[in-house]
Amino acid sequence: MFIIPPSLSSTASETTHNPVAKNNIAMSVPSLFAGDKKRVATAIVYCEANFGAIDGKTANGLIRRSEKYEILSVIDSEKAGLDTGMVLDNKPNAIPICRDLADSLAQAGSVPDFFIFGMAPSSGMLSKHERGLVLEAMSHGMNIVNGLHEFLNDDPVFAAACVASKVEILDVRKPRDKKDLHMFSGRIAEVTCPVIAVLGTDCAIGKRTTANIITSALNESGIKTVMVGTGQTGLIQGARYGVALDAVPSQFCAGELEATIVKAFENENPDVIIVEGQGALSHPAFSSSSFILRGSCPNGVVLQHAPRRSKRCDFEGMEMPTPATEINLIETFADTRIIGLTINHEDMSDTEVSAAITQYEHELGIPTTDALTRSPERLVEMVLAAFPELQGKLIASA
């Protein structure tokens, strides 16, 4: 999650119904829009008291980038009246923050197609109030996008509401049946292009945002790049390839990711594959990073770090690791190398970001940048330094 304070200017930008359960694998445009390829589904995003904060990372990500939905507004009574772009990146985007559902519907002028639950609380469950709000949204005729661990299609109350209101619920994290899941096979060796994982020193530190920016920057430079998502937000944003790893039984995690990467490679014939990271390898509460390293067997890793974060997100008794210790752990755990460091500039001024970049490049001997406040060209240079064979792709595109 990134928040740019007002003093920090950014140079980079991102910018018939059937109530049958949906899952998270290559989630497609809902069936109600299948006959109209030009139709972009409209949506409002619920993020009460959390927009711009760590637990609001799904809403934050959708505001920065959404290929699947046209986001009309965000609901957060604490920031009502503000512009979402100004809150996140000090750059207006004309997407308002509304006080409540009624305010959001009034702003929209008509009923949006979707109500997206835009928070990622550590509990992974809806509160009693939130259950009521989701049911209210359904009563208006809105379909629901749910990224929590709680699968609403399995709840009789929500299943009945789907039938009554003729809407759908997309349970993004719901995995496929076990009979359809993959075990690790070793086919990752068939992927001959560089695979780069974007990992971090903590959870909710901006790995997905950085992965998106690297992907866009490389594509704009002529280097064909595909991103593989590993969490619910990337899938909601519209990632063509991905799997919500934290909802997959552990014995299938590496295999599911491997199979997704192989599919992306075979279908797209890319020059580079970027894999979104989750959690942190050093974090005792999460295991997703280990599965990402095992399943993707990355040729390189970009590490994301927040210099001003002293404690682990949601774990105030745990100290943050240093980039050096995380790099040592990753390179010991897996046959890979860290090709660069990217900074999450939360609570930092522009001057402090520049100083941190200089410091880490000197200490670690690897390229360092801030994906949001520095030129995306630096990210391209970072990748080319690690994989010089890609230079030909860059020259050919000039």
pLDDT at residue 251, rounded to an integer:
96
Lowest mean pLDDT among 28-32, 197-201, 271-275, 277-281: 28-32
CB-based contacts of 200: which residues, under 8 Å, 6+ apart? 206, 207, 277, 279, 280, 303, 304, 305
Q: Where are the domains of the chain?
A: 31-171, 180-397
pLDDT of 13 > 50? The answer is: no
How large is the average pLDDT for residues 355-381? 97
Helix (DSSP H) and strand (DSSP E) numbers for the chain:
13, 15
pLDDT of 69 > 80? The answer is: yes
pLDDT at residue 3, rounded to an integer:
35
pLDDT at residue 355, rounded to an integer:
98
User: For 180-397, which CATH class?
Assistant: alpha beta
pLDDT of 278 > 90? The answer is: yes
pLDDT at residue 124, rounded to an integer:
75
pLDDT at residue 314, rounded to an integer:
82
pLDDT at residue 37, rounded to an integer:
55
Contact 174, 22 (CB under 8 A): yes
Query: With bands split at pLDDT 50, 70 and 90, how would you rate the model's confidence at 394?
Result: confident
pLDDT at residue 36, rounded to an integer:
55
pLDDT at residue 191, rounded to an integer:
98
How many residues belong to the chain? 398
pLDDT at residue 371, rounded to an integer:
97
Q: What is the pLDDT of residues 208-238, one digit of tens each?
A: 999 999 999 999 999 999 999 999 999 999 8
Q: Can you tell me the distance from the alpha carbon of 306 to that of 321, in angstroms, rounded to the nearest whole number?
A: 10
Q: What is the pLDDT of residues 111-128, one digit of tens each?
A: 999 999 999 876 778 999
**Whole-prediction pTM value?**
0.84
pLDDT at residue 395, rounded to an integer:
64
pLDDT of 21 > 50? The answer is: no
pLDDT of 175 > 70? The answer is: yes
Amino acid in position 142? M
How large is the average pLDDT for residues 25-50? 69
> Smallest Cα–Cα separation from 393: which of 267, 271, 260?
271
Q: What is the pLDDT of residues 254-268, one digit of tens each?
A: 999 999 999 999 999
Lowest mean pLDDT among 19-28, 61-70, 157-166: 19-28
- Share above pLDDT 70 across residues of the chain, in percent, rounded to a whole number: 89
pLDDT of 349 > 90? The answer is: yes
User: For 358-393, b where at least 16 C-beta lie within 10 A, e where not — what string?
Assistant: eebeeebebbbbbbbbbebebbbbbbbebbeebeeb
pLDDT of 19 > 60? The answer is: no
pLDDT of 4 > 70? The answer is: no
The verdict on domain 31-171 having CATH code 3.40.50.720 is yes
- Of 37 and 243, which is predicted with more confidence? 243
pLDDT of 302 > 50? The answer is: yes
- Of 97 and 10, which is predicted with more confidence? 97
229: left (phi over 0), alpha (psi -120 to 50) or beta: beta
Query: With bands split at pLDDT 50, 70 and 90, how would you rate the model's confidence at 1?
Result: very low
Coil vs helix vs strand at 99: coil
Phi and psi, residue 258, nearest 5°: -55, -50
- Share above pLDDT 90 across residues of the chain, in percent, rounded to a whole number: 82
Asked whether the domain spanning 180-397 has the same topology as the one spanning 31-171, the reply is: yes
Query: With bands split at pLDDT 50, 70 and 90, how would you rate the model's confidence at 18?
Result: very low
Q: What is the pLDDT of residues 305-343, one digit of tens each?
A: 999 999 998 898 999 999 999 999 999 999 999 999 999
